[in-house]
Structure 1
Amino acid sequence: MLSRNSLLLVVAYLSLMPDHFNAAQQSKLTGSGCAPRGALPTNIRVTAIPSPYYAEGTQSFFGDLLEALKGKTGINYTVTSRPDLGYGSPDANGSFEGSLIGELVNGHADLAGADLTITAERSAVVDFLVPYAQYQLQILANAFFGLDEDTQYLIQDTADFTFLKNSKNATLSAIAANVELGRRSGSIVEDDVAGCAKVMMGNYAYVAESMFPERAIVANPQKLVRAGGTLGIFFLALAVQQDSPLRGILNHALVQLAEDGLIQDLLAKYNVLT
């Protein structure tokens, strides 16, 4: 979850954005019906992916967060659940088709409601809002084997894997190469449960987002360990279309909710990143 230092970083991040404005400016904007780069919608079209953060038809982190944002902004929203979509990585042609990012790029959604990692590739085509959480990338290893030259690394095919592949760091790029070589033997896993199960079987190491390694180690004492240091620190955020008039008012609302302690409470309530 966001610490005090992280919250200060978020505020600094917001202050650098061109649509940053104070409460008085927000009042003028909403009262006059005018907004930079187009009028504010009366209903926000939200596209979401079922995940630990969102579950259709039941309470969830994003469901509560959207209600809180509605309370701060007065703007209604409609959520469409799209389990068929990916989060968003460009294909060989640079297209984000078939993903949450693609829905924003194509104008089919106003807001992507998911645990999206902020990346340079995504930031080039959409605008991220201020982060609501952060996580570290860590290695979960078999306690008996540790890490050696025969270790097979495992990872989910997400933005985290893209980070490793694009990294200029020799250690990180070597981990990515190891995963690529092991694709046929199942180095790309479906989820945390599958990654952990494989590590328990032998000389495997699962590259995972915190706090999963800690939970797995507690559940399997003396069988699993964290190996190596932190591979990277990343931020999770909602995203809107580029130059969206929603960016300023939603960012202001998110910072208010963070200052109120609501975002931290929701992360704890739904046991995500805690």
Structure 2
Amino acid sequence: MARTRSTSKSTKTSKKKTAAVPLGKRLRRFVLRGIAVVFLVVVGLVVLGTFVNPPTNAYMYAEGTRLGPVKQTWVPMERIAPVMARSAVAAEDANYCAHWGFDMVAIRKAIEDGSSRGASTISQQTVKNVYLWHGRSWIRKAMEALITPLVEAVWTKRRILEVYLNVAEFDEGVFGVEAAARHYFGVSAADLNPTQAARLAAILPSPKKRSAAQPSTFVRKRARQVRDGAATIGRDGRADCFES
């Protein structure tokens, strides 16, 4: 009987202690645990992404629902013409090898110019395309800012660029450089020449409004700049981090 009473008293005491914990404190614990779980899930997904190619993403899924099956064929970096990788970097993120996910020089310049164009790095775009969604919400921007340094710490620069080139949109329903090369020029990504690669890179900011196969005057001019830029970063070492 003595043991039963002792156990009963212990249970009552435990319940009293639980009840005594303020609601605010319990909610804070719940939120912190939730954040910890989300963080661990994100870390797990990023680590998984070092060797598992993402099968799709939120935007690609939405476009597939709207248009029907999208075009995408995943290819490793070894099957992408080196000039295509250099062209993408020259067009979108010339300091790609020098930053840790955020190009502070480009960000400051964009703020001074009153524009966001040019401030988003390839690393940020990859995080957005693979793990998040398109849009300008502060929530997405905040999540992008948190995940980008993690991806930079876990993935190699070569891997980031490889994923970027395989998920970037090049036309309506056309994703990845392999599908884009065949869609516009009838060749594989491995066989792209400097002009073709430069044109593909030149349409990346607005792929639904620009064409690589029938380039406007603007796209032709932009492609010439990209081609020159790709040659420059190949010579001055700014391509070393993804070509070595």
With the length of structure 1 as denominator, give the TM-score of the two structures.
0.23
Question: Which structure dedicates a bigger proportion of its chain to helix?
Answer: 2
Higher relative contact order (CA 8 A, sep 6+): 1
With the length of structure 2 as denominator, give the TM-score of the two structures.
0.24
